[in-house]
Amino acid sequence: MSNNVLRLEHATMQFGGVVAVDDLSLNVNKGEIVALIGPNGAGKTTAFNMITGVYQPTNGAIYFNDELIISNRPKGKMKKIYAGGYESHNNKRIVKTPDRITKLGMARTFQNIRLFTNMTVLENVLIAKHMRAKHNVFTATTRIAYSEEKKMREEALALLEMQGMTYLKDEIAGSLPYGIQRRLEIARALATEPEILLLDEPAAGMNPQETNELTDFIAKIKNDYNLTVFMIEHHMDLVMTISDRIYVLDFGKLIAEGTPEEIQNNPRVIEAYLGVSEDA
Amino acid sequence: MDKKTQKRIIIDILLVIALFAGLYVMEKTLPRNSMVFPVLKKGAIYALLAVSMNLLNGFTGLFSLGQAGFMLLGAYTYAILTIPVQSRASVYQYYDGGALTFALPPWLALILAGVVAALFASLIGFAVLRLKSDYLAIATLGFAEIIRAFVQWEAMGPITNGSNVLRKFPYFRSVLVPFAVVGICIFVIVLLLNSSYGRAFKAIRDDEVAAEAMGINLFKHKQMAFVISSFFAGVGGALFAMFNTTVIASTFKSSLTYEILLIVVLGGIGSVSGSVMASFLYVAASEWWLRFLDEPLFIGAFQVPLLKSGFRKVVFSVIIMVVVLFYREGMMGKNELSWEFIKDRLGKLKNKLKNIGKKKVKAEAENE
């Protein structure tokens, strides 16, 4: 048995005539921090949305802990207009909704923070605990399962304590400063008890100091919770410091893969980011 | 549980006892035909209907307009099951005494009224809950109209009495009955909203994508909210039938849904106590305080213009427009009435008065 937590095989996402992600194959091994980088519009967030079940890929398969969770091949109308680089013929159609994928142990954050802004910090974390609680609507309403609710609260408070956010527990999430909202979103994702954490631009909009703090924070939670981290990021400092491996996407295609040093010296990556010089 | 919450629960229980004692005293002392009683009864029933609609529209974020349909199901279920056997011949005079040859006790029929409404909700939920916002509203509105046409169908006559009126079923005389039933129902809804499931509903309302990413099964929870809301709409419909003492399909037109929606908006979308207060205010205003708008009024020989039958509705339309334009939060917004809330508001009021006082002093000082 291989030790990859997440594996994509020929994953392709086509919207109409646009191939947002083209024949993407990658794997994330247990305990690694892997980054997915690329210029704007390269298809990074689309790749995340495919992995977490928000979008159904047009072609390809996705495995989580060697279990096939998402799979598809071009069918019907898509068979004619399919423009991806690789077409598989034997994939079955397997769809899992995002909630089931989260339940398997994959949690994510969003590029533009999606907290429950009208609720308190504690409630935000409690919602993430809802899925794993052993109660049904009857026992929860009648408070027969009150011990379950109590356990959820204790766990949520313990999590906030670990993140040093206990003093914020009764604040309305939407009123918090930007950096703290980012951290709360990560804390909320941790509350779903994931094996792998998908971070979509966790440092977006942060200044260098906040970015440094975030770098330490990610390294810390990775050790504390025994996590595997897969992230999209633009801040090269952060990416180069903590990533074990890096994948580079450009126009939906994977153009490079390797350790931070390899990526920094890869001519194709430099070309994708800086463009080709005229006289070359 | 700490001492403070214990104390609070005791105070709440005492308040409920005081409310019922007050109602009992009122019933014994005030004249039987006082306007207060129908207003209280209808207000309580509308409170349940508004809260059940709020559970769906305000707390789960599903904009459904099927309330009248589920009320109709509840009302018909209750009436059909409780008409005494000896009265059936006269009620179902066009259908040879109807198809049913038994009658159930009212309390059982009341629960069954909710169950039937919930059953229909779970069936149509499969189809309509995949729709979003406006489309869901249209689909549920359509369902309400279809079900209204369905019960009036000739072939359904032996059960629903076609388009004729159902009557002679047991109903309540005391105002305490609707208050007790509605009180229990709203208490259960509040317990639900404060549980983990209530939080999940609110998460779906705030952000569906994030809720799903947190492992909340959207369809399951939407279906749950829809079914529970419909159950209480069914019970409310049965109480409404008892209040009217008759059931006829034409009562449950879509305008009834809009009436409930108006209460929800007035009280605050996402506030249980707001819905309760708004429903009593609304019923009192429409049935009692604003009655004069529908009757011609003479001051000496001068007839006040505009005051004629139907003008009340015009005034209501203006009120709802003003609310939607300027007070979109309604009376309570998303807040609940609690001791903290009252304290908070009183504090704010005090500050405002102080500021006005200060301004006056300042203005006077400047004048000098």
Question: For residue B1, what are the contacts with CB-CB under 8 A and spacing of at least 6?
Answer: none
SS3 content of chain A, % helix, strand, coil (to 5): 40, 25, 35
B215 and B353 fall within a common domain: no
Question: For residue A29, what are the contacts with CB-CB under 8 A and spacing of at least 6?
Answer: A3, A4, A5, A228
Question: Smallest Cα–Cα separation from A195: which of A1, A3, A37, A2?
Answer: A3
Show the tokens assigned to B305.
Answer: 């213009």
Instruction: Name the band, by pLDDT with cuts 50, 70 and 90, for residue A110.
Output: very high
Domain coverage including residue B365: 341-368
Q: Of the candidates B223, B252, B281, which is a domain's last residue?
A: B252
Residues of chain A positioned with their CB less than 8 A from the CB of B217? 97, 99-100
User: Residue A26 CA to chain centroid, in angstroms?
Assistant: 14
Q: Of the candidates B185, B219, B252, which is a domain's last residue?
A: B252
Amino acid, res. B191 = L
Dihedral pair phi/psi, residue A97, rounded to 5°:
-75, 155
In a mutational test of the B interface, the residue from A45, A49, A99 whose CB has the highest number of chain B CBs within 10 Å is A99
Task: Quick: pLDDT tens for B216-263.
Answer: 999 999 999 999 999 999 999 999 999 999 999 999 998 899 989 989
Burial A32-47 (b: 16+ CB within 10 A, else e): bbbbbbbeeebbbbbb
The number of helices, as runs of H, and strands, as runs of E, in chain B is 15, 2
A181 touching B (Cβ < 8 Å): no
> Are A98 and B191 in contact (CB < 8 Å)?
no
B306 touching A (Cβ < 8 Å): no
Q: Of the candidates B230, B252, B274, which is a domain's last residue?
A: B252
Out of B200, B207, B215, whose CB is closest to A102? Answer: B215
Q: Is the Cβ–Cβ distance between B27 and B175 less than 8 Å?
A: yes
Out of A103, A114, A143, whose CB is closest to B215? Answer: A103
Question: Smallest Cα–Cα separation from A46: which of A253, A240, A256?
Answer: A253
DSSP-derived secondary structure letter, B31: -
In a mutational test of the A interface, the residue from B214, B218, B229, B269 whose CB has the highest number of chain A CBs within 10 Å is B214
User: Residue A82 CA to chain centroid, in angstroms?
Assistant: 27
In a mutational test of the A interface, the residue from B195, B208, B231, B335 whose CB has the highest number of chain A CBs within 10 Å is B195
Residues of chain A positioned with their CB less than 8 A from the CB of B209? 54, 98, 110, 114
Strand duo A59-64 + A67-72: pairing = antiparallel
Q: Is the Cβ–Cβ distance between B73 and B122 less than 8 Å?
A: no
- Does a structural domain hold residue B282? no
- Does a structural domain hold residue B2? no
Residues of chain B positioned with their CB less than 8 A from the CB of A131? 214-216
- Residue A2's SS3 state is coil
> Are B212 and A127 in contact (CB < 8 Å)?
no
B242 and B346 fall within a common domain: no
Report the domain count for chain B.
Answer: 2
Low-confidence ranges of chain B (pLDDT < 70): 1, 368
B334 touching A (Cβ < 8 Å): yes
A147 touching B (Cβ < 8 Å): no
Residue B289: the pLDDT is: 81
Residue B14: the pLDDT is: 92
Out of A99, A141, A143, whose CB is closest to B215? Answer: A99
Q: Is the Cβ–Cβ distance between A123 and B207 less than 8 Å?
A: no
Question: For residue A104, what are the contacts with CB-CB under 8 A and spacing of at least 6?
Answer: A64, A65, A67, A69, A96
Nearest CA in chain B to A103: B215
Out of B200, B206, B213, whose CB is closest to A108? Answer: B213
How far is residue B98 from each of residues B81, B83, B88, B166, B228, measured CA to CA in Å?
Answer: 11, 11, 7, 11, 31
> Are B203 and A132 in contact (CB < 8 Å)?
no
Strand duo A33-37 + A245-250: pairing = parallel
SS3 content of chain B, % helix, strand, coil (to 5): 75, 0, 25
A149 touching B (Cβ < 8 Å): yes
B141 touching A (Cβ < 8 Å): no
> Are A130 and B192 in contact (CB < 8 Å)?
no
> Are A116 and B206 in contact (CB < 8 Å)?
yes
B242 and B349 fall within a common domain: no
Show the tokens assigned to A3.
Answer: 């030790």
B88 and B221 fall within a common domain: yes
Task: Quick: pLDDT tens for B162-189.
Answer: 888 888 899 988 889 999 999 999 999 9
Q: Is the Cβ–Cβ distance between B333 and B268 less than 8 Å?
A: yes
Residues of chain B positioned with their CB less than 8 A from the CB of A102? 212-215
A115 touching B (Cβ < 8 Å): yes
Give the number of A-B residue pairs with CB atoms closer than 8 Å: 96
B348 and B212 fall within a common domain: no
B195 touching A (Cβ < 8 Å): yes
- Does a structural domain hold residue B114? yes
Please state, in angstroms and rounded to a whole number, the distance separating the CA atoms of residues A55 and A70.
10
Q: How many CA atoms lie within 13 A of B278 on its CB side?
A: 31
Show the tokens assigned to A33.
Answer: 């921090």
Please state, in angstroms and rounded to a whole number, the distance separating the CA atoms of residues B279 and B48.
9
Q: Is the Cβ–Cβ distance between B221 and B228 less than 8 Å?
A: no
- Does a structural domain hold residue B53? yes
Residues of chain A positioned with their CB less than 8 A from the CB of B187? none
Q: What is the mean pLDDT of chain A?
A: 88
B216 and B352 fall within a common domain: no
B336 touching A (Cβ < 8 Å): no
Nearest-Cα distance to chain B for A179, in Å, is 18
Residues in chain B: 368
- Does a structural domain hold residue B239? yes
Residues of chain B positioned with their CB less than 8 A from the CB of A181? none
Show the tokens assigned to A146.
Answer: 């009150």
Question: Smallest Cα–Cα separation from B120: which of B226, B249, B248?
Answer: B226
Question: Smallest Cα–Cα separation from A216: which of A257, A181, A186?
Answer: A186
Q: What is the mean pLDDT of residues A77-82?
A: 83
> Are B213 and A142 in contact (CB < 8 Å)?
no
Question: Smallest Cα–Cα separation from A246: which of A258, A254, A237?
Answer: A258
> Are A97 and B217 in contact (CB < 8 Å)?
yes
Question: Smallest Cα–Cα separation from B265: which of B284, B244, B279?
Answer: B279
Burial class (CB in 10 A: 0-12, 13-18, 19+), A195: middle
Q: What angle do CA B358, B364, B368 make, to 5 degrees?
A: 145
Please state, in angstroms and rounded to a whole number, the distance separating the CA atoms of residues B123 and B73.
14
Show the tokens assigned to B224.
Answer: 């749950």
Please state, in angstroms and rounded to a whole number, the distance separating the CA atoms of residues B137 and B61.
11
Out of B191, B196, B209, whose CB is closest to A130? Answer: B196
- Does a structural domain hold residue B335? no
Nearest CA in chain B to A130: B196
DSSP-derived secondary structure letter, B32: T
B214 touching A (Cβ < 8 Å): yes
Q: What is the mean pLDDT of residues A2-28?
A: 89
Please state, in angstroms and rounded to a whole number, the distance separating the CA atoms of residues B236 and B77.
12
Domain ranges of chain A: 111-188
Q: Is the Cβ–Cβ distance between A222 and A10 less than 8 Å?
A: no
Interface of B with A in 224-243 (CB under 8 A): 224, 228
Task: Quick: pLDDT tens for A186-241.
Answer: 999 999 999 999 999 998 888 888 888 889 999 999 998 899 999 999 888 888 88
Question: Smallest Cα–Cα separation from A195: which of A1, A2, A47, A4?
Answer: A4
Residue A280: the pLDDT is: 46
Instruction: Name the band, by pLDDT with cuts 50, 70 and 90, for residue A108.
Output: very high
Please state, in angstroms and rounded to a whole number, the distance separating the CA atoms of residues B134 and B138.
6
Burial B298-318 (b: 16+ CB within 10 A, else e): eeeeeeeeeeeeebbeeebee
> Are A116 and B197 in contact (CB < 8 Å)?
no
> Are B216 and A132 in contact (CB < 8 Å)?
no
Please state, in angstroms and rounded to a whole number, the distance separating the CA atoms of residues B100 and B108.
16
- Does a structural domain hold residue B194? yes
Show the tokens assigned to B122.
Answer: 């779970």
Nearest CA in chain B to A112: B210
B201 and B63 fall within a common domain: yes
Q: Is the Cβ–Cβ distance between A32 and A3 less than 8 Å?
A: no
